[in-house]
Amino acid sequence: MSESARQIAGMSGSDRVDSRWLLPFLMSMLAVGFAWLVLPGDEAGLRLMIRTSGRISLVVFSVAFAAAPVARLIHKPATSWIRRNRRLLGLLFAWSQLLHLAGLFALGVWYPQDFLPYLDWLTLLGGGLAYFFTFAMAATSSDRAQQAMGFIRWRRLHLVGGWWIWVVFLQSMNPILEPWYWSLPLLVAALLRLQAAMAGRQLST
């Protein structure tokens, strides 16, 4: 068994999620907040909800994506808490993305003339695969799912899926609509993962 597998196997559910009550609370807050943005009942409010949910998803994903390498590189209580609760962050990300998808669906149904003509097969393919990986990773976030899949296949799904979502997020950064600094969480998360991987290789040699 690899070192990363031993670390994951050695963490009990209570160690990994010591604030489980946070998940339903945060999910409820997101749902209420996004619904409030749509309350004006016009296209502008719906687009604001879609932009906000996308940005929140990006930040939550970046934190979850960098959780393990940050904990290895920086030994602090805050980074340890993030590492233990990475699954909570992953499920919160999936929930935010589900609400984001609901907003996109509503935009296509209520305002098709301002949305559907701008869709192309590349966007549908890339975004569709990102959503597939998002929900597949959320569905396999439990210990039982990891044991059923086997660590190697589970690790491969989450590694490939995580990097695919990262790429889709990065290429979706429209410099006209999105300020440049919204790309920073993605870039920092990727750099931390690469630095942790290089440090791990140096220790193993």
Residue 91 lies in a domain: yes
Give the domain range for residue 129: 17-204
Give the integer Cα–Cα distance in Å for 107 and 124. 15
Residue 3 lies in a domain: no
Residue 6 lies in a domain: no
pLDDT value at position 177?
66
CA distances from 127 to 29, 59, 123 (A): 25, 17, 6
Residue 107 lies in a domain: yes
For residue 38, the tally of other CB atoms under 10 A from its CB is 17
Which token pair is 57?
């998803």
Number of domains observed in the structure of the chain: 1
Give the residue with greater pLDDT, 128 vs 82. Answer: 128
Give the integer Cα–Cα distance in Å for 60 and 95. 11
Give the residue with greater pLDDT, 41 vs 4. Answer: 41
CA dihedral 180, 184, 186, 190 (to 10 degrees): 130
Residue 10 lies in a domain: no
29-61 pLDDT, tens digit each:
999 999 999 988 899 999 999 999 999 999 999
pLDDT value at position 201?
60
68-86 pLDDT, tens digit each:
888 888 888 888 888 889 9
148-182 pLDDT, tens digit each:
999 999 999 999 999 999 999 999 887 666 788 89
Which token pair is 160?
């490939």
Give the integer Cα–Cα distance in Å for 43 and 49. 10
Residue 165 lies in a domain: yes
Residue 90 lies in a domain: yes
Q: Specify the 3-state DSSP secondary structure of 129.
A: helix
The stretch 10-29 carries a mean pLDDT of 68
pTM of the model: 0.85
Quote the percentage of the chain above a pLDDT of 70.
86
